[in-house]
Homo-oligomer: A and B are copies of this chain.
Amino acid sequence: MEPKSLIIALFLLSLFFGSLSATPTRKIKARNPCKRLVFYFHDIIYNGKNSNNATSAMVGAPAWANTTIMAGQSHFGDLIVFDDPITLDNNLHSTPVGRAQGFYLYDRKDIFTAWMGFSFVFNSTQHKGSINFAGADPLMNKTRDISVVGGTGDFFMARGIATLMTDAFEGEVYFRLRVDIKLYECW
Protein backbone atom coordinates (compact mmCIF):
# COMPACT_ATOMS: atom_id res chain seq x y z
CA MET A 1 0.00 0.00 0.00
CA GLU A 2 1.34 3.41 -0.94
CA PRO A 3 1.84 5.73 2.02
CA LYS A 4 -0.93 7.93 0.59
CA SER A 5 -3.25 4.93 0.28
CA LEU A 6 -2.53 3.94 3.85
CA ILE A 7 -3.31 7.45 5.07
CA ILE A 8 -6.62 7.45 3.23
CA ALA A 9 -7.50 4.01 4.54
CA LEU A 10 -6.61 5.00 8.10
CA PHE A 11 -8.57 8.21 7.74
CA LEU A 12 -11.65 6.32 6.61
CA LEU A 13 -11.25 3.85 9.43
CA SER A 14 -10.83 6.68 11.92
CA LEU A 15 -14.24 7.95 10.83
CA PHE A 16 -15.63 4.67 12.05
CA PHE A 17 -13.78 4.59 15.29
CA GLY A 18 -14.70 8.22 15.79
CA SER A 19 -18.38 7.63 15.17
CA LEU A 20 -18.35 4.61 17.46
CA SER A 21 -16.51 6.28 20.31
CA ALA A 22 -18.71 9.37 19.98
CA THR A 23 -21.48 7.26 21.51
CA PRO A 24 -20.43 7.50 25.15
CA THR A 25 -21.97 4.22 26.15
CA ARG A 26 -20.66 1.71 28.61
CA LYS A 27 -23.57 -0.60 28.18
CA ILE A 28 -22.73 -4.25 27.69
CA LYS A 29 -25.32 -6.51 26.15
CA ALA A 30 -24.72 -10.20 26.32
CA ARG A 31 -26.53 -13.49 25.91
CA ASN A 32 -24.42 -14.71 28.79
CA PRO A 33 -24.92 -12.74 31.99
CA CYS A 34 -22.59 -9.76 32.37
CA LYS A 35 -23.12 -10.07 36.12
CA ARG A 36 -24.41 -12.89 38.26
CA LEU A 37 -25.32 -12.79 41.94
CA VAL A 38 -26.97 -15.33 44.24
CA PHE A 39 -28.74 -14.34 47.45
CA TYR A 40 -31.29 -15.70 49.89
CA PHE A 41 -34.04 -13.79 51.57
CA HIS A 42 -36.17 -14.73 54.52
CA ASP A 43 -39.81 -13.87 55.05
CA ILE A 44 -41.45 -14.21 58.48
CA ILE A 45 -45.15 -13.44 58.15
CA TYR A 46 -47.01 -11.74 60.96
CA ASN A 47 -49.66 -14.13 62.32
CA GLY A 48 -50.98 -12.16 65.29
CA LYS A 49 -48.44 -13.57 67.73
CA ASN A 50 -44.97 -12.91 66.34
CA SER A 51 -44.86 -9.14 66.09
CA ASN A 52 -41.29 -8.99 67.38
CA ASN A 53 -39.59 -11.02 64.70
CA ALA A 54 -42.11 -10.82 61.83
CA THR A 55 -40.60 -9.19 58.74
CA SER A 56 -43.80 -8.98 56.73
CA ALA A 57 -47.48 -8.28 57.27
CA MET A 58 -50.69 -8.78 55.39
CA VAL A 59 -52.21 -5.41 54.54
CA GLY A 60 -54.94 -6.34 52.10
CA ALA A 61 -57.39 -9.22 51.86
CA PRO A 62 -60.64 -9.96 50.05
CA ALA A 63 -64.03 -9.32 51.63
CA TRP A 64 -64.39 -12.94 52.70
CA ALA A 65 -61.17 -12.89 54.74
CA ASN A 66 -59.11 -10.68 57.06
CA THR A 67 -55.54 -9.47 57.39
CA THR A 68 -54.56 -11.69 60.33
CA ILE A 69 -55.08 -15.19 58.95
CA MET A 70 -54.22 -16.14 55.37
CA ALA A 71 -57.32 -16.39 53.21
CA GLY A 72 -58.69 -19.69 51.91
CA GLN A 73 -58.68 -20.46 48.19
CA SER A 74 -54.87 -20.47 47.97
CA HIS A 75 -54.70 -17.14 49.84
CA PHE A 76 -56.29 -15.49 46.80
CA GLY A 77 -56.27 -11.73 47.23
CA ASP A 78 -53.89 -11.53 50.18
CA LEU A 79 -51.45 -8.67 49.85
CA ILE A 80 -48.25 -8.84 51.89
CA VAL A 81 -45.73 -6.05 52.51
CA PHE A 82 -42.24 -7.14 53.46
CA ASP A 83 -38.84 -5.96 54.64
CA ASP A 84 -36.80 -9.15 54.64
CA PRO A 85 -33.13 -9.72 55.43
CA ILE A 86 -30.93 -10.81 52.51
CA THR A 87 -28.15 -13.28 53.29
CA LEU A 88 -25.37 -14.87 51.28
CA ASP A 89 -26.19 -18.36 52.48
CA ASN A 90 -29.39 -20.11 53.49
CA ASN A 91 -29.04 -19.36 57.22
CA LEU A 92 -31.65 -16.95 58.61
CA HIS A 93 -29.17 -15.97 61.30
CA SER A 94 -26.31 -15.01 58.99
CA THR A 95 -25.40 -11.33 58.92
CA PRO A 96 -27.72 -9.64 56.40
CA VAL A 97 -26.02 -8.01 53.42
CA GLY A 98 -29.11 -6.04 52.44
CA ARG A 99 -32.90 -5.86 52.62
CA ALA A 100 -35.55 -7.19 50.25
CA GLN A 101 -38.38 -4.64 50.36
CA GLY A 102 -41.71 -4.51 48.58
CA PHE A 103 -44.85 -6.59 48.25
CA TYR A 104 -46.35 -9.77 46.93
CA LEU A 105 -49.96 -10.70 46.41
CA TYR A 106 -51.57 -14.10 45.99
CA ASP A 107 -53.54 -13.96 42.78
CA ARG A 108 -55.09 -17.33 42.07
CA LYS A 109 -57.91 -19.29 43.66
CA ASP A 110 -57.05 -22.87 42.74
CA ILE A 111 -53.27 -23.01 43.19
CA PHE A 112 -50.66 -20.83 44.87
CA THR A 113 -49.33 -18.12 42.61
CA ALA A 114 -48.14 -14.64 43.44
CA TRP A 115 -47.18 -11.37 41.78
CA MET A 116 -44.23 -9.49 43.21
CA GLY A 117 -42.82 -5.99 43.03
CA PHE A 118 -39.78 -5.42 45.20
CA SER A 119 -36.20 -4.20 45.49
CA PHE A 120 -32.97 -5.51 46.87
CA VAL A 121 -31.46 -2.60 48.78
CA PHE A 122 -27.74 -2.73 49.55
CA ASN A 123 -25.67 -0.34 51.62
CA SER A 124 -22.46 -2.13 52.51
CA THR A 125 -18.84 -1.98 51.50
CA GLN A 126 -19.53 -4.77 49.01
CA HIS A 127 -22.64 -3.40 47.29
CA LYS A 128 -24.30 0.01 47.27
CA GLY A 129 -27.50 0.60 45.37
CA SER A 130 -30.64 -1.28 44.51
CA ILE A 131 -32.01 -3.87 42.10
CA ASN A 132 -35.68 -3.62 41.16
CA PHE A 133 -37.79 -6.68 40.37
CA ALA A 134 -41.28 -7.31 39.01
CA GLY A 135 -43.15 -10.32 37.78
CA ALA A 136 -45.32 -13.35 38.26
CA ASP A 137 -44.21 -15.98 40.75
CA PRO A 138 -45.91 -19.34 40.13
CA LEU A 139 -44.50 -20.50 43.41
CA MET A 140 -45.44 -24.17 43.15
CA ASN A 141 -42.90 -24.52 40.33
CA LYS A 142 -39.44 -25.57 41.47
CA THR A 143 -37.89 -22.57 39.74
CA ARG A 144 -39.48 -19.55 38.08
CA ASP A 145 -38.18 -16.39 36.48
CA ILE A 146 -39.09 -12.78 37.17
CA SER A 147 -37.71 -9.63 35.55
CA VAL A 148 -34.99 -7.30 36.78
CA VAL A 149 -36.51 -4.06 35.50
CA GLY A 150 -33.86 -1.61 36.67
CA GLY A 151 -31.21 -0.73 39.17
CA THR A 152 -29.39 2.12 40.85
CA GLY A 153 -25.92 2.71 42.28
CA ASP A 154 -23.67 -0.29 41.62
CA PHE A 155 -26.53 -1.73 39.59
CA PHE A 156 -27.16 1.41 37.54
CA MET A 157 -29.59 0.68 34.68
CA ALA A 158 -29.34 -3.08 35.16
CA ARG A 159 -31.73 -5.40 33.36
CA GLY A 160 -32.04 -9.14 33.51
CA ILE A 161 -33.75 -12.15 34.95
CA ALA A 162 -33.93 -13.52 38.46
CA THR A 163 -34.59 -17.21 38.98
CA LEU A 164 -36.48 -17.82 42.20
CA MET A 165 -36.42 -21.09 44.10
CA THR A 166 -38.26 -21.81 47.33
CA ASP A 167 -35.44 -23.03 49.52
CA ALA A 168 -37.54 -23.63 52.64
CA PHE A 169 -41.16 -23.33 53.63
CA GLU A 170 -42.63 -23.63 57.11
CA GLY A 171 -46.41 -23.51 57.01
CA GLU A 172 -47.75 -20.00 56.74
CA VAL A 173 -45.08 -18.39 58.89
CA TYR A 174 -41.69 -18.65 57.21
CA PHE A 175 -40.28 -19.09 53.76
CA ARG A 176 -36.85 -18.61 52.26
CA LEU A 177 -36.25 -17.82 48.62
CA ARG A 178 -33.03 -18.39 46.71
CA VAL A 179 -32.61 -15.65 44.11
CA ASP A 180 -30.21 -16.25 41.24
CA ILE A 181 -29.81 -12.85 39.56
CA LYS A 182 -28.52 -12.84 36.00
CA LEU A 183 -27.98 -9.41 34.49
CA TYR A 184 -27.79 -9.16 30.69
CA GLU A 185 -27.52 -5.40 30.49
CA CYS A 186 -24.74 -3.84 32.55
CA TRP A 187 -23.50 -0.26 32.40
Give chain A's interface residues, CB within 8 Å of chain B.
Answer: 1-2, 4-6, 8-10, 12-13, 16, 23-32, 46, 48, 51, 57-64, 66-68, 76-79, 81-83, 99, 101-103, 105-109, 113, 115, 117-119, 121, 129-130, 132, 134-136, 138, 145-153, 156-157, 159-161, 184-185, 187
Contact = CB atoms under 8 A, between A and B. Distances in A.
A13 to B, nearest CB: 6
Nearest to A151: B147
A83 to B, nearest CB: 4
A10 to B, nearest CB: 8
A25 to B, nearest CB: 4
Nearest to A10: B12
A29 B23 CA distance: 7
A27 B78 CA distance: 38
Contact of A103 (B12, B105, B119): B105
A136 B130 contact: yes
Given A134-B150, A149-B147, A57 B81 contact: no
Nearest to A65: B59
A68 B63 contact: yes
A103 B115 contact: yes
B79 A79 contact: yes
Contacts of A145: 129-130, 152-153
Contacts of A159: 150, 157
Contacts of A156: 161
